[in-house]
Structure 1
Amino acid sequence: MNRIRAAVRRFDSYQQRHPWAGFPVAVGRKFSDDRAGSLGAVIACYAFLSVFPLLLVLVVVLGVVLHGHPALQQKALGSALADFPVIGGALRTNVSGLHRTGLSLVLGLLGTMVGARGVANAAQYAFNTVWAVPYKRRPGFPGAQFRSFAAIGVIGLGVLTTPALSGIAEGVSHLSVLVQAGVRAAAFVTSLALNVVLFWLGFRITTAAEVPTRALRTGAMLAAVAWQILQAAGGY
């Protein structure tokens, strides 16, 4: 035990003298002090709950628009669920039991709005907590609600545009290998750049104005890269 304590003290002394070693230690301590894991879990919980009513809306709309074309319905539904790693396949298999009724559409829209609003509110609380914004300087009513609805719009834009770019990349399979590689690379770069902008805008909306916009840039870039990796891994 004494050797372990001595090793810990030596490492602590080393990381205090070397910024490159102290930075990850400081990030980990900040993560723990802010209870960032719990804050992220609340956001993920609301996001997960909003997926199912959104799928209900999707099934109802597809049932109306593509009535009499079950193959196209399944193809469109599969394309939408491709952005949900791991659970996408299970949802695509079991979502067919939902009924195409007006009540289903209303319940789906209400559930999606409640879940999305919960995500936006939880994100505002989490980001302002991490940035140590005092409660009295955080957006109040109705400003916080306007920010939540604006954040929902940004999230929806990202959900719609990313699959569209993926669809463009997959739609050139009949062309030469070189052209396919070029189009897919261009779609990847465009998607990454768009995600950086959307994450940056989302962070700006959900964080109090006293936090400089430039301070949110690095987080937006890291989030966009992580999202691209998650989509690629999930698709694989």
Structure 2
Amino acid sequence: MGMGTAQRIDAFQQRHRWAGLPLAVVYKVFDDQALYLVALLTYYTFLSIFPVLLLFVSGLGFFLEDNPDLQRQLLNSVLGEFPVLGEQLRGRIHAFRSNGIALAIGILGSLYGSLGAAQAAQYSLNKIWAVPRYQRHDPFRSRLKGMLFLTTVVCGLSVTLLLSLAASESEAFGTDLGTGLRATIALVAVAVNAGLLLATYSFLTHHRVALRGLWAESLGAACAWQVLQWAGGYYATNVLRGASATYGMFGIVLGLLGWIYLGALIFMVAAEVSVVRAHRLWPRSLLTPFTDRVWLNWADRRAYTSYATTETFKGFETVTVEFHQRPPPGPRPAAGAADDPWGEDPAEAPSPEADPARRHRPPEDPAENEPPDADPGPPGWEHE
């Protein structure tokens, strides 16, 4: 692709929001190394799932010992979502009930995995929102915040679990569910998930985030999560159902890892979209991730400035960012957030009357906007 073609594509995506905004989100995902954050979140979430199931089975065996019918119904409903793993746990419920070691492992494992997932989510959101390191909670308060948050998540997930089970079963409490009721249950589940995501983005981010700027991304992520749940149910029912124990165990582990990874990816991408929209980090220059011989626009400068100031470890530490390249021609656009810390707001910039150097500056020459000799830019790219 020639430089002339790249220049035309760049100009097109910068003029059209529907092209420039998704590209800016993709660039920020790679700038933040969000895929590694997704892998970290997947690791802790995966570690918490099996201990939680183990704890659930042990708790049923202890609390519902005198009600075997209700115990069996709950086991068939919940463990039925995990065909092979569920059969393994269902067959060993009596062993788990009388095994204090299994119960202790379940409690410790679920706490480790759940708190790790909460910590990973906090770190990821603070990094995405470019919260300086010194403004984040210390290790003790961040874990306390994670524990408080997990109580809310458990309540919300319990509601969505009951709704998904009611929608997936042909009968619920002896009542045959029709299409309209199933659709209503699915919509309620999406609304609950959207509320959980909205609370997550707001509570775990140590940054002033306007809720009105998060609802669209939360709703979109909730819809994507619902589709992912349906896909996971189809995989468990049609791919793993009837599989041998050996193949089925590998299939459930790999499928569960992929399912959690996609869910974490949805969570992270929705957060990236929120930041790009809130701080107007678009449109980006097309070739900025690939070369230094490129003209940075205002969105590029705001993004790279935020990445540098995020690593401020102390409140008395000052990080300044300079670009050895002339700013883009034309007026500087608004950042899009009233509390944007990533550069001065155009309204706060010194006026020509307040700045004698600007007041007596001669009219701009077109050549003045060219990059300096130390950074001339690619031939035929910015100078065609």
- TM-score range (shorter-chain normalised) is 0.7 to 0.9
Which of the pair has more CA radius of gyration? 2
Q: Aligned ranges for residues 9-158 of structure 1 at < 5 Å?
A: 9-67=7-65, 73=71, 75-81=73-79, 88-95=82-89, 96-97=91-92, 99-100=95-96, 101-158=99-156
Q: What is the DSSP-based 3-state SS (H/G/I as helix, E as strand, rest coil) of the residue aligned with 1:149? A: helix
Code of the residue aligned with 2:124 in structure 1: it is A
Structure 2: stretches of 5+ with no match in the other structure:
235-384
**% identity of equivalent residues:** 36
User: Closer, same or farther in 2 for the Cα pair 1:174/1:153, shift >3 Å?
Assistant: closer
* Structure-2 separation of matches of 1:59 and 1:231: 22
Code of the residue aligned with 1:185 in structure 2: it is A
Deviation, 1:127, is 0.4
CA contact (8 A) 2:129 2:207 kept: no
Code of the residue aligned with 1:184 in structure 2: it is R
* Structure-2 separation of matches of 1:175 and 1:123: 40
Higher helix share: 1
CA contact (8 A) 1:133 1:208 kept: yes
CA contact (8 A) 1:46 1:119 kept: yes
| TM-score scaled by length of structure 1 | 0.84
| TM-score scaled by length of structure 2 | 0.54
What is the number of equivalent residue pairs in this alignment?
228
Q: What is the DSSP-based 3-state SS (H/G/I as helix, E as strand, rest coil) of the residue aligned with 2:178? A: helix
Q: What is the DSSP-based 3-state SS (H/G/I as helix, E as strand, rest coil) of the residue aligned with 2:138? A: coil
Residue 163 of structure 2 is matched in structure 1 by 165
Cα offsets for 1:89-130 (capped at 9, x unmatched)? 232133344732122112211110111000000000000101
Q: Does the alignment pair 1:229 with 2:218? A: no
Structure 1: stretches of 5+ with no match in the other structure:
none
Residue 204 of structure 2 is matched in structure 1 by 206
Q: Aligned-pair RMSD on alpha carbons?
A: 2.6
Deviation, 1:231, is 1.1
Cα offsets for 1:58-106 (capped at 9, x unmatched)? 12122234448878655423422456xxxx2232133344732122112
Residue 197 of structure 1 is matched in structure 2 by 195
* Structure-1 separation of matches of 2:54 and 2:161: 19
CA contact (8 A) 1:53 1:111 kept: yes
Code of the residue aligned with 2:101 in structure 1: it is L
